[in-house]
Amino acid sequence: MSTIQELDPKGIWKNFYSLTQIPRPSKKEEKVIAFTKSFGEKLGLETIVDEVGNVIIRKPATPGFENRMGVVLQAHLDMVPQKNEGTDHDFEKDPIETYVEDGWVKAKGTTLGSDNGIGAAAAMTVLEATDLEHGPIEALFTIDEETGMTGAEELKPGILKGDILLNMDSEDEGELYIGCAGGVDTTGEIAVTLEDVPAEFTAFRVAVKGLKGGHSGLDIHLGRGNANKIINTLLLMAAEKYGLRVADIDGGSLRNAIPREAFATVVVPAAKAELFVKFVEEFAAIVKDEFEEADGGVKVMADKAAMPAKVIDEKAQESLCEAVAKCPNGVIAMTKDMPDVVETSTNLATVKLKDNQIVIGTLQRSSVDADKEKLAAQIRDVFEKAGGKAFSSGNYPGWKPNVNSAILTTMKEVYNKKFGRVSAVKVIHAGLECGILGAAYPNWDMISFGPTIRHPHSPDEKVNVKTVGLFWDYLVETLKNIPVKA
């Protein structure tokens, strides 16, 4: 038995454990969809799976609460698949191995999936509970939140009957979120021609690793290193100094994760190989010093490698280095009225050679749609001026804050009465599904909350045990205090 099943509240940890045993990376949710459907049906509850795989489970009101406003409990089923180098884990087959340390639940070398497994587990626990007081409940389990929010995008209007949406995908206990950033993906493509490796060259495998990475919205302001930016600087300098040629590049893995690792197979003239190795050592020391406070575990190294069959042409290599060097990355603007909140940012997420082209993936976020579009256009211009093609896709809206929200008033009162302190009201620099869902259901009064989760989208992800209990107690008390339907 996993030790997490022994934690309190037992219902939520039991259900979260069940989710950790089911592979559920984004785009590969078939097993968890089937599990969730079976879960609802075994409870004898009305269970619907829509055309894209979203699961909806309805639970009637408890006696005496039939006249309350209907509540939609919402969480997403998918998780971000990230693992440390050397971790033997197949996210499409293997369960997540969990453990408890110093009051936190963590995973062994992989992402934990508490984002948003804890929210999903909470909804499951409400559905199966026989001792709670609540009005009509609909649990909405969406798919593919992490790689495009297609589940929310494809949810049909009219299928849900509730009045209030409780999104359980926030990551700081005691904070109520009433708005979020919108996002758009911008991709650059640079065509390459493969050429024979010049004579008398030596091959190396260059690696940047040991970075913390993290969520490209929630952690973007922390000053962490971007592996793609770091390796590109090395390639650019070494090409000028030593005639380095690039054979392959593979940086980052996910659009919404700050890239922790980047790798490149390169060749340099054999006569300059020793100088190149010394240069990498000096470069590594500079990078280590630069990120000592924010990302002190960074490592940059170059090891001799097998000779590649081909290298990319020099023009494409120059275009690659120019595009990555000039592409904005990180925080672009802070919110004027909330100076501690990021307003606009961009993440240079992935750089990969595939199918005779270099593909550069980025994600822009902003709570101001016009600024998001302007930044995406700027990045497209960078890629095009570097000799590539560029396009934007997956545009999703932000969620405009409503400070006069009735559910906000209710939940603030409940929190203060339950815990004797005031909950914080915030907007989040991340993509919540509320903006998309609210477009399909404009009548919904929406709020987002959750337990304390740190470093989502990275193998350092962890969820605080105590706050899961507080989150659950808050959810239970909120359901008991939902207003009567007008």
| pLDDT tens-digit readout, 345-393 | 999 999 999 999 999 999 999 988 899 999 999 999 999 999 999 999 9
**Nearest alpha-carbon partner for 137 in 118, 155, 158, 164:** 164
pLDDT of residue 109: 95
pLDDT band at residue 427 using 50, 70 and 90 as cut-offs: confident
How far is 365 from 429, CA to CA, in rounded Å? 7
**Nearest alpha-carbon partner for 196 in 231, 130, 247, 236:** 247
Both structure tokens of 21: 């045993």
Q: Which residues participate in catalysis according to the annotation?
A: 78, 145
pLDDT of residue 437: 95
Mean pLDDT of 320-338: 92
pLDDT of residue 403: 86
Percent of the chain beyond pLDDT 90? 90
Ranges 72-76, 107-111, 279-283, 365-369: which has the least confidence: 365-369
Looking at residue 100, its amino acid is V
User: Model confidence over 203-245: pLDDT tens digits?
Assistant: 999 999 999 999 999 899 999 999 999 999 999 999 999 999 9
Looking at residue 282, its amino acid is E
How far is 311 from 324, CA to CA, in rounded Å? 19
10 Å CB burial of residue 133 (0-12, 13-18, 19+) is middle
How far is 394 from 149, CA to CA, in rounded Å? 9
Percent of the chain beyond pLDDT 70? 100
pLDDT of residue 1: 42
Mean pLDDT of 416-431: 92
Q: What is the pTM of this model?
A: 0.79
Mean pLDDT of the chain: 95
Neighbours of 213 (CB within 10 A): 25
- Alpha-carbon separation of residue 100 from 7, 117, 317, 452 (angstroms): 9, 16, 46, 15
* Domains along the sequence of the chain with CATH: 3-181+398-480 (3.40.630.10), 184-396 (3.30.70.360)
10 Å CB burial of residue 197 (0-12, 13-18, 19+) is middle
pLDDT of residue 2: 55
Angle between helices 114-128 and 30-42 (to 10 degrees): 20
Mean pLDDT of 44-63: 98
SS3 9: coil
Both structure tokens of 281: 């050592």
Give the length of the chain. Answer: 486
